[in-house]
């Protein structure tokens, strides 16, 4: 019985050591400079007159990627929302382009009151 207990303890100890060693040399789930995505709700929407309104139901997504020294090399933002009741809607789809610090973007409002925007920056495209 004692030999069995010692042998069993030895197997558990050996398995534990292999598990620890395996963990120590395992690759991380993502590289340090992998892209990260965030999602949320609530954003500003632009009406036909150019005024901004807060839409709590608006859904947004932000993707960023940094290089090995922490500099942003990719930035992509997108949202989809609705103009609030009473806000002026355009007669036809209204697209507004802009550049915010190198992030090329556009906003789109429709006669039905739907709104979307995006902004993209890619450092590789600058080279």
Question: What's the total number of domains in the chain?
Answer: 1
- The answer to whether position 70 is within a domain reads yes
- The answer to whether position 29 is within a domain reads no
- The answer to whether position 65 is within a domain reads yes
Measured at the CA of 104, the angle between CA 127 and CA 101, to 5 degrees, comes to 80
- Rounded to an integer, what distance in angstroms lies between the CA atom of residue 42 and that of residue 29? 30
- The answer to whether position 17 is within a domain reads no
Which pLDDT band, with edges at 50, 70 and 90, does 63 fall under?
Answer: very high
- The answer to whether position 96 is within a domain reads yes
pLDDT, mean of residues 27-31: 57
Structural domain boundaries enclosing 44: 36-126
- The answer to whether position 4 is within a domain reads no
Q: Is the pLDDT of residue 116 over 70?
A: yes
- The answer to whether position 10 is within a domain reads no
Residue 33, pLDDT score: 72
CB of 81 within 8 A of CB of 55?
Answer: yes
Percent of the chain with pLDDT over 90: 59
Q: Tell me the whole-structure pTM to 2 decimals.
A: 0.70
Q: Would you give the distance in Å from CA 35 to the centre of its chain?
A: 8
- Rounded to an integer, what distance in angstroms lies between the CA atom of residue 102 and that of residue 119? 9
């Amino acid at each position: 019985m004692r030999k069995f207990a010692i042998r069993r303890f030895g197997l558990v100890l050996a398995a534990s050591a292999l598990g620890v060693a395996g963990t120590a040399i395992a690759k991380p789930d993502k590289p340090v400079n992998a892209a990260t995505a965030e999602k949320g709700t609530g954003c500003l929407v632009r009406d036909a007159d150019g005024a901004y309104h807060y839409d709590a139901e608006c859904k947004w997504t932000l993707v960023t990627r940094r290089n090995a020294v922490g500099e942003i090399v990719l930035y992509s933002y997108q949202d989809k929302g609705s103009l609030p009741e009473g806000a002026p809607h355009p007669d036809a789809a209204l697209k507004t382009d802009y550049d915010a610090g190198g992030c090329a973007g556009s906003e789109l409002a429709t006669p039905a009151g739907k709104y979307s925007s995006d902004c993209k920056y890619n450092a590789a495209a600058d080279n």
